[in-house]
């Protein structure tokens, strides 16, 4: 909320209720890194008052101009429940948390009794030099996640590079890497839910970032297909293996269930021949 209070001020957005200024001053007074449950409960009502003020919502709608987590609105909408003393995080709450991957995490999932090793690496710039260590001859597929809703945002790392462009450039280096020519790539065009909200937001427009976009900027299908084509077009001729794609919403367990089943089939089919030989 401190970030939003600060953004409202810098963006010169007028309070809907002038009394919110008092609540804002109270929030600004907090200097610390964490709150215990009791302190949090005390702040919750103040934060709630601010979140209800249209000025803060307006600042949030302009968040492409500053850095704030996409899950902020989810947690602020759920504030009353979260501030309760008997609060226990739900699966959905946990899925909305942001914890950047620092390092390399490995876990095995058995698919039709065949153990598949999944390797999770961090996407932030500082994490990428760790990727090369994970790429050896045993890699059968690469799952690449793109935040499609970030077409109007800049990197937290340098505050100037467009996030979708950065993602596309990394995808380019992977897709066109000679070492991965025969490895299937599964592209997840993720954050579909946030993209759906964004195409309706009058504070932004994909054409401001991609003037070559000729579709309807308020149609999620048009925007999704444009981004898909943009990523598919980076592929150069030497690549022989397929690039599969899925439109995903990683915080929707039902969607991920369907996508995972499909990915499972892809991985199994593509590797069946090799597995039978073992
Ligand atoms: N609404 C919504 N939020 C998402 C979706 N996918 C991820 N998030 C949120 O985006 C934030 C970042 O997700 P992470 O899983 O940490 O992303 P990551 O790509 O692993 O990030 P690094 O570990 O830094 O590479 C979290 O707050 C997630 O809850 C999505 O499809 N929809
Ligand atoms: Mg991660």
Give the span between the Cα atoms of 45 and 68, in whole angstroms: 21
Q: Is the Cβ–Cβ distance between 189 and 227 less than 8 Å?
A: yes
Cα(96) to ligand 2 centroid in Å equals: 12
> In this predicted model, what pLDDT tens digit does every residue of 48-90 receive, in sequence order?
999 999 999 999 999 999 999 999 999 999 999 999 999 999 9
ipTM above 0.85, yes or no: yes
The reported pLDDT for the residue numbered 42 is: 87
Q: What would you measure as the largest C-alpha separation in the chain, in angstroms?
A: 73
CA dihedral angle for residue 7, residue 10, residue 12, residue 16, rounded to 10 degrees: 30
The reported pLDDT for the residue numbered 266 is: 87
- Could you give all domains of the chain from N- to C-terminal order, each with its CATH number? 1-96 (1.10.400.10), 140-277 (3.40.50.300)
Backbone angles phi, psi at 53, to 5 degrees: -80, 130
Give the span between the Cα atoms of 254 and 183, in whole angstroms: 27
Closest ligand to residue 256's CA: 1
Q: Where are the alpha helices (DSSP H) in 121-252?
A: 163-175, 192-198, 206-209, 220-232
The whole-model pTM stands at 0.94
First-to-last C-alpha distance (Å) of the chain: 56
Q: Is the Cβ–Cβ distance between 227 and 145 less than 8 Å?
A: no
Quick one: average pLDDT of 213-228?
Answer: 98
Instruction: Choose the residue to mutate in 67, 93, 101 for probing ligand 1, maximizing ligand atoms within 8 Å of C-beta.
Output: 101
């Amino acid at each position: 909320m401190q970030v939003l209070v600060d953004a409202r001020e810098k963006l010169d957005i007028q309070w809907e209720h002038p009394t919110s200024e008092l609540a804002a001053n109270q929030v600004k007074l907090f200097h610390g890194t964490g709150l215990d449950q009791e302190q949090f409960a005390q702040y919750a009502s103040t934060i709630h008052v601010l979140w209800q003020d249209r000025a803060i919502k307006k600042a949030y709608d302009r968040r492409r101009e500053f850095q704030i987590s996409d899950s902020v609105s989810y947690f602020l909408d759920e504030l009353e429940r979260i501030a309760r003393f008997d609060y226990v995080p739900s699966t959905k709450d946990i899925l909305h948390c942001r914890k950047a991957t620092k390092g390399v995490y490995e876990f095995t999932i058995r698919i039709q009794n065949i153990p598949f090793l999944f390797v999770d690496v961090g996407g932030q710039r500082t994490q990428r030099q760790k990727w090369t260590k994970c790429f050896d001859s045993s890699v059968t597929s690469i799952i690449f996640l793109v935040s499609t809703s970030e077409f109007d945002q800049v990197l937290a790392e340098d505050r100037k590079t467009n996030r979708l462009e950065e993602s596309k450039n990394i995808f380019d280096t992977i897709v066109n890497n000679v070492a991965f020519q025969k490895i299937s790539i599964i592209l997840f065009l993720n954050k579909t839910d946030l993209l759906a909200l964004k195409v309706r937001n009058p504070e932004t427009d994909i054409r401001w970032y991609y003037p070559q976009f000729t579709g309807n900027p308020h149609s999620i299908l048009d925007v999704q297909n444009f981004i898909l084509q943009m990523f598919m077009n980076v592929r150069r001729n030497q690549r022989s293996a397929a690039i599969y794609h899925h439109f995903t919403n990683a915080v929707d367990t039902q969607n991920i269930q369907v996508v995972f089943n499909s990915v499972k089939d892809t991985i199994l089919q593509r590797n069946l021949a090799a597995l039978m030989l073992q």
